[in-house]
Chains A and B, each alone.
Chain A
């Protein structure tokens, strides 16, 4: 009997897992020697579609198994053979891809890519709901908090506040009616850990949140998940239903007098709702505008009742901590940042995907050993951490161990876990402009400095990238950064300047090149570049002239083509289309 596990998360489906799965079913349905299972994503997004073949207790992982390869794959398996060249992780010996896994420690994500997220039996077989049972049957509420505090777990949404303390505040808050929130409004562009977790192991998050509800004394919980994540919402709803049917959720959980009802709310698309008071306003059906704190949600949350709010990954860590004890978690990590952290690797990196690593690992280890280096064998210029609230950490600081304080010292933040890698083709001024454009769109408008200040910063950055920057722009940017940090109520405004501050701190030369020399060193800013045909490479294939939308690229067949700089809009279509690398940017 062979079990075939097909990675079936949004990322896998986008890479063709659905077609692969359909083909497998067409070939193997009714064959008693095979069982086909759907799982979440094992984190190796860059290899998708991914299939694990399990036989005699050994796991063979196949990568890039698109539907066109399925027939040959099945043929080999039926003969009791393997196609060695397609195996990316081998049970008997290391492979080229092993280094992606070697440094990982999977606590929060241990089930993702292993179990079928739509099967509660799969979850139960993987120690599922054992922590909940232990908690509600054998522990009092303070004992739970003591374990969470001993674990050193800090909020994984970005701020890094102690989870145990947060629970203590909510538990100690007076009142019988209390609420729990799971923040799955993963708004940072470039981050997908929460999506993958909810899609790959929804029961794990439910269990963690339910333990939290028992501890603080809440009766009702809300999952707030982005509407852009339809599969996560679907699997979460199914998991809640299953948990209710089996007595792990709803009334009288596991036969005790503890009851907890869960609801799923789809976020309607507002980045600011990642801020807890805005999130609460949104759950109440209002515009998601933050308010002043105190009072904190621990005492005045949903409908002014005590409310505890944690991020998806924070809850996902809870079952492990309660099952194995706080010390089992805190043995990983650094002095102040315990345990593991989940990161999403993206951008110009060879192996993009989701990883879980012990805190204290260096950025270099992540990019070079796990990520396999920069795509196209390029050089890493910077990594963006923390999304619009974070910053760009330059390559020379990549020996920094990842922990909350050390990353904050660089000017970025650990954030929720998005890591976007950049190479020499990335213009750092353009990145700053990109994030400010995002903040301007997403500022709720309540605070003047955030609403107007970010807009003024964006105008300056647009001017610089358009080649019209002035000497006084840099000091003005710095002044605006300072004012926005001081004059904003919530985290969105207070951290909005970070992308500008870090790029100014580490890549000031790029700003100066734009302003003084009217040059974009990364050759990215359209106003500062020209496209040119390399004469000895051009074969006169006419593809560029056919692709050019404005008729700037012209020439006769089999003769060298030319680009008319005055008409050219710098769209770059010709360069993408050229098969001979004959178009260069200067």
Chain B
């Protein structure tokens, strides 16, 4: 089997060597490399920090930010904050699901799109809101959100 390159994990670990309480920050920075935490990376962190893998797994599964599976190229986060909820966030989710043929929490088989529900993006005055990558789209309807997704699909098809 091909040797997995984990030098990115070592780089992060070196930066925080000997500092107390940095596990979460280390995991965040490790995740930043591939968008998720691969098993081998977690094991490396465990060995080098001298923390049991089980404890690290406990931390990883506790916080919503950490992922154990790869994420699609375009991460679509649908806000389900209270303001978005009363303005039909569930309808938006259904519309996006229909457009991409996957359920929330899933990734398309071509790894281009992932749909995710998030608790609140803090742009409540623009509700209902979604975020694609770093870009926020506000004041959406099921109709408008479908257009947004179609745009991204078109962009991907052109590449």
Contacts and interface: CB of A to CB of B under 8 A. Distances in A.
Q: Specify whether A and B are partners.
A: yes
Interface of A: 10-11, 13-15, 45-46, 186-192, 195, 226-230, 265-266, 268-271, 282-288, 303, 344-348, 352-353, 384, 387, 418, 420, 422, 425-426, 431, 434-435, 438, 441-442, 444, 547, 549, 571-573, 576-577
A155 to B, nearest CB: 20
A10 B118 contact: no
For the complex of A and B, the 10 pairs showing the least CB-CB separation, nearest first, are A269-B64, A352-B125, A190-B82, A45-B125, A268-B63, A346-B124, A14-B136, A285-B23, A189-B81, A346-B83
Contacts of A226: 122
Interface in B46-84: 58-59, 62-66, 80-84
How many chain B residues sit at the interface, stated as a range, is: 35 or more
Interface stretch (B7-15, B86-94, B103-111, B151-159): B86-94
Contacts of A442: 119
B28 A420 contact: no
B63 to A, nearest CB: 3
B129 interface: yes
Contact of B124 (A228, A288, A352): A352
B58 A422 contact: no
Given A269-B63, A571-B94, A344 B82 contact: no
B101 to A, nearest CB: 11
A15 B138 contact: yes
B93 to A, nearest CB: 10
A578 to B, nearest CB: 10
Contacts of B136: 10, 13-14
Contacts of B122: 10, 186, 191-192, 195, 226, 228-229
Interface in B129-159: 129, 134, 136-138, 141-143
B44 interface: no
B140 to A, nearest CB: 10
Contacts of A444: 62
20 contacts: A10-B136, A14-B126, A14-B136, A190-B83, A190-B120, A191-B122, A195-B122, A228-B118, A266-B28, A270-B63, A282-B24, A285-B21, A346-B83, A352-B127, A387-B82, A573-B91, A573-B95, A573-B143, A576-B143, A577-B143
A268 B66 contact: yes
Contacts of A431: 85-86
A346 B82 contact: yes
B13 to A, nearest CB: 13
Nearest to B85: A434
Contact of A10 (B91, B123, B142): B123
